Structure 1
Amino acid sequence: MPTLRQEQPEPSSNEPHRARRTAESFGTDAQRYDRSRPGYPDTLVARVIAGSPGPEVLDVGCGTGIAARQFRAAGCAVLGVEPDARMADCARAHGLDVEVAGFETWESAGRKFDTVIAAQSWHWVDPVAGAVKAAHVLRPGGRLAIFGHVYEPPAEVAEPFAAAYRRAAPDSPLNVRPARRPLGLYQAAYAKFADRIRETGRFDEPEQWRYDWEQSYTRDQWLDLLPTTGGLTGLRPEQLTGILDAVGGAIDSLGGRFTMTYTTLATTAVLVGGS
């Protein structure tokens, strides 16, 4: 589904972290983003915490704090780093401590953490500089955990979306991609994250984790989430309306709801020594 392509880790040779206009577009409607986006499997959160030496967590690209709130609810002390002040303000409204900066240039002021997480955000970070920075701010034995969702609506929803998107934004580079793409392409992207972690020489062998789950969406719920995705955040209102009308009609033909199959992928590794 093209709207999700630049938001999920890009499986091609492109460099999403350089696409700053898209990366910083999600704060256009931070409240919608916060209410519509799904959280992360509790089993993943528990596994990250269990494999970390303590409760202090740094959330890279924390956005509105969706993952941060889950870690806080599990007993962690969380600091967020977020380049978009609009997203940071939304996270602060939930009681989170957030500093506005890009992770690569963020000043840690000597602070160290037991865990560095990046939830649906690491593809917006320079993969080489990010891994080095994570090693610098982690305590020995600390864990880096990069994770995010891969999600594709069923063909009955994805294909009408793709057709409407081509009509609304015919010059978009997203239009060269099929309506749905194989999970293996995203697994390859997470394998590349692992390669960059290995290159630092600072971490144990990275692990790849996978969690499969489902979520049901009504027509209104999906149309609420859809404008928060990377291919739509920069569209004009009339372009967006045409796409939402087409997708809404497709969901109506399915009885007004559909089930989304999610896969949450993670690349994680433990720091072997001090910085």
Structure 2
Amino acid sequence: MPTLPPERAHRSPRDSRDHQQLAESFGTDAERYDRARPRYPAALVDRIVAGSPGRGVLDVGCGTGIAARQFQAAGCTVLGVDPDARMADLSRRFGTETEVAAFEAWEPAGRGYDAVVAGQAWHWVDPVAGAAKAARVLRPGGRLAAFWNVFQLPPEVAEAFAAGYRRVAPHGPFDLGAGAERAMDGYRPLFTKAAAGIRETGLFGEPEQWRYDWAWRYTRDAWLDQMPTLGALTRLAPDERAEVLDGVGAAIDALGGGFTMSYATVAVTAARTGAG
């Protein structure tokens, strides 16, 4: 189920403001975000590390440092960059050196890295400017990897989510339909844009897609804890959010108090070529 606004080829000034406000809304409850958001498959982290020339990692849009800590656990030295000072502060508290900046405006000051990664964040970065900045800081053979967690709720839970959201935000931009293919379809434009941006720089090999399918068992409380961190809900008023959560909670209760979520983690990745 997509948790992102529909992609547009060109944003109007109002669209750009909405995009920025949505991006900034995730920091309103940074501790909940860090506690509740899913991690990434260890196999993906290991593959990125193994396919890089060294262990220096730049984490773009690092948020609270969820992915950064996974790379640190794999033996990497990680610098995080995030535009939200609230998220960056929590990332530092959890042990990741983090600088506050939009990636396009961030100044590397001559520093170089073996991998540039972005977990659930590259859609906030200009795909061409971001890939060019990544190429600037990557050592030859270094890897750019942008990845996303795509999830599929059980139909009963997805339908309760969609119904509650339509009641409180009937003109909202989010498609909350159920179904694995609809969930993945919501993300395919992001994968396409990321790959196109990488190609446009002329500084990387051909982008690849890596996919990892996995599952996670949620209790009612654990899923309701995560829901307020989703883009569909971060800007709702508290009473509107509570109405959506109540409906979803009732649906989970009807399933016995928990459910298994199907996840697919998809990475768009390419290696830096030459020294150009």
What TM-score results when the alignment is normalised by the length of structure 2?
Answer: 0.93
User: What is the CA–CA distance in structure 2 between the aligned matches of 1:57 and 1:17, rounded to whole Å?
Assistant: 29
User: What is the CA–CA distance in structure 1 between the aligned matches of 2:177 and 2:37, rounded to whole Å?
Assistant: 23
Question: Structure 1 residue 188: deviation in Å?
Answer: 4.5
Which residue in 2 is equivalent to 1:249?
Answer: 250
User: What is the CA–CA distance in structure 1 between the aligned matches of 2:10 and 2:135, rounded to whole Å?
Assistant: 25
Q: Is the 8 A contact 2:154 2:178 kept in 1?
A: no
Q: Is the 8 A contact 1:17 1:124 kept in 2?
A: no
Residue 56 in structure 1 maps to residue 56 in structure 2: yes
Residue 266 in structure 1 maps to residue 267 in structure 2: yes
Query: What is the letter of the counterpart of residue 5 of structure 1?
Result: L
Question: Structure 1 residue 172: deviation in Å?
Answer: 1.5
Gaps of 5+ in 1: none
CA 17–55 in structure 1, closer or farther in 2 if over 3 Å, else same: farther
Gaps of 5+ in 2: none
1:43-122 counterparts in 2 under 5 A? 43-122=43-122
Query: What is the letter of the counterpart of residue 23 of structure 1?
Result: A
Task: Tell me the secondary structure at the aligned position of residue 109 of structure 1.
Answer: coil
Which residue in 1 is equivalent to 2:28?
Answer: 28
Which residue in 1 is equivalent to 2:204?
Answer: 203
Question: Structure 1 residue 187: deviation in Å?
Answer: 3.5
Question: Structure 1 residue 5: deviation in Å?
Answer: 2.8
Task: Tell me the secondary structure at the aligned position of residue 265 of structure 2.
Answer: strand
CA 185–161 in structure 1, closer or farther in 2 if over 3 Å, else same: closer
CA 174–238 in structure 1, closer or farther in 2 if over 3 Å, else same: same
Per-residue CA distance 1:119-152 (angstroms, 9 max, x = gap): 1000000111111111111111111011110012
Per-residue CA distance 1:67-120 (angstroms, 9 max, x = gap): 000000110000000000000011111111000000000011111111000010
Q: Is the 8 A contact 1:17 1:125 kept in 2?
A: no
User: What is the CA–CA distance in structure 2 between the aligned matches of 1:12 and 1:222, rounded to whole Å?
Assistant: 30
Question: Structure 1 residue 273: deviation in Å?
Answer: 1.7
Per-residue CA distance 1:167-209 (angstroms, 9 max, x = gap): 111232226x634424244234313311210111000111110
User: What is the CA–CA distance in structure 2 between the aligned matches of 1:220 and 1:69, rounded to whole Å?
Assistant: 25
User: What is the CA–CA distance in structure 2 between the aligned matches of 1:43 and 1:11, rounded to whole Å?
Assistant: 29
CA 241–184 in structure 1, closer or farther in 2 if over 3 Å, else same: closer
CA RMSD of aligned residues (A): 1.7
Task: Tell me the secondary structure at the aligned position of residue 268 of structure 2.
Answer: strand
Q: Is the 8 A contact 2:135 2:203 kept in 1?
A: yes
Q: Is the 8 A contact 2:203 2:272 kept in 1?
A: yes
CA 185–231 in structure 1, closer or farther in 2 if over 3 Å, else same: closer
Which residue in 1 is equivalent to 2:239?
Answer: 238
Task: Tell me the secondary structure at the aligned position of residue 99 of structure 2.
Answer: strand
Per-residue CA distance 1:255-275 (angstroms, 9 max, x = gap): 000110000000110111224
Over the matched positions of the two proteins, sequence identity in percent amounts to: 61
User: What is the CA–CA distance in structure 1 between the aligned matches of 2:220 and 2:166, rounded to whole Å?
Assistant: 21
Residue 178 in structure 1 maps to residue 149 in structure 2: no
What TM-score results when the alignment is normalised by the length of structure 1?
Answer: 0.93
Which residue in 1 is equivalent to 2:4?
Answer: 5
Task: Tell me the secondary structure at the aligned position of residue 140 of structure 1.
Answer: strand
CA 55–120 in structure 1, closer or farther in 2 if over 3 Å, else same: same
Question: Structure 1 residue 13: deviation in Å?
Answer: 4.4
CA 216–231 in structure 1, closer or farther in 2 if over 3 Å, else same: same
